[in-house]
Structure 1
Amino acid sequence: MKILILNGPNLNLQGRRDVAVYGSTAFEEYLTRLRAVFPDVGLDCFQSNVEGELIDALHRSEGRYDGVVFNAGGYTHTSVALRDAVAAIATPVVEVHISSILAREEFRHVSLLAPVVRGSIMGFGLDSYRLGVEALLLQK
């Protein structure tokens, strides 16, 4: 099984940005641990601060990946284009968030992606990604 972990804007700063909310572990460090937990799963990762590059990655996932674990960051609440891209592909997508978007500022309470993904996982820190991978493995 191959899974794409897709990270949106500012997630390249994981471990340095707002550590009280997101923690101090760099994503690369966490990804190494995640790969050790799932040695039989091909876990690829792509991060971009550019909306169009995330859309392109979603489109390219078809036929290459069995699922996508997607943290769209701030685009979760604003991007109709990302919502449409997720809805347009057959690859199953699980939305993840490090923090609970429902416990944050009111403008973060609405996910435009939630209606078109297989499920949403939030609030478990970086372990939200592990739970996202597990959810996709259960779908097979």
Structure 2
Amino acid sequence: MLHIHVLNGPNLNLLGTREPHIYGAETLDDVEQKLVAYGKEHDISFTMRQSNHEGQLIDWLHEARTKADGVIINPGGLTHSSISLADAVAAIAIPVVEVHLSNIFARESFRAHSTISAVATGILTGFGTTGYLMAAHALAAHLSRTEKG
């Protein structure tokens, strides 16, 4: 069974109520329920976490290094500014998929830059909460290819 950590950054605890015209009406609980259902069908377990604190996300990335097969991360606003978070992604040596609910390239110009993308295995942006399921599928496929050599 694969184990994937799903890490969510600042303000994602407000998902479902924060700017639903941009981020949608689903909550992180809704995302978790969909991932758990997907995991039952595909032999994947998930650990879901959210923090508004950069250091906590870094600690969870370090923990994932030894407790997870891969990570799905939505760094929220830290996407555009956190060198420390990017360094942590680069340091853990397991695949990391970056997810964004909105298309960061179709919004304000400052959002088009991600410190994480250069060190992530892949990025999904603009598919709303479905991006988490897409990331889980892509990460599982990547891990399967990696295992087969």
Question: Does residue 48 of structure 2 align to residue 49 of structure 1?
Answer: no
The two structures have a TM-score, normalised by structure 1, of 0.98
Paired residue for 1:71, among 74, 97, 103?
74
In the alignment, what sits opposite 1:11? 12
- Give 5+ residue unaligned stretches, structure 2: 144-149
Q: Percent identity?
A: 46
> How many aligned positions are there?
140
The two structures have a TM-score, normalised by structure 2, of 0.92
Question: Does residue 29 of structure 2 align to residue 28 of structure 1?
Answer: yes
Q: Choose between structure 1 and 2: higher helix proportion.
A: 2
Q: 1:38-89: CA deviations, max 9, x gaps?
A: 2121111010000000000000101210000000000000000001111111
Q: Which amino acid aligns with 2:4?
A: I
Paired residue for 1:119, among 122, 125, 139?
122
Listed as ranges, the matches of 1:86-105 within 5 Å are: 86-105=89-108
In structure 1, C-alpha distance between the alignment counterparts of 2:38 and 2:107, rounded to whole Å: 30
1:63 aligns to what SS in structure 2? helix
Which segments of structure 1 move beyond 4 Å, counting only runs of 4 or more?
none
In structure 2, C-alpha distance between the alignment counterparts of 1:20 and 1:7, rounded to whole Å: 20
Cα distance, 1:104 vs. partner?
A: 0.8
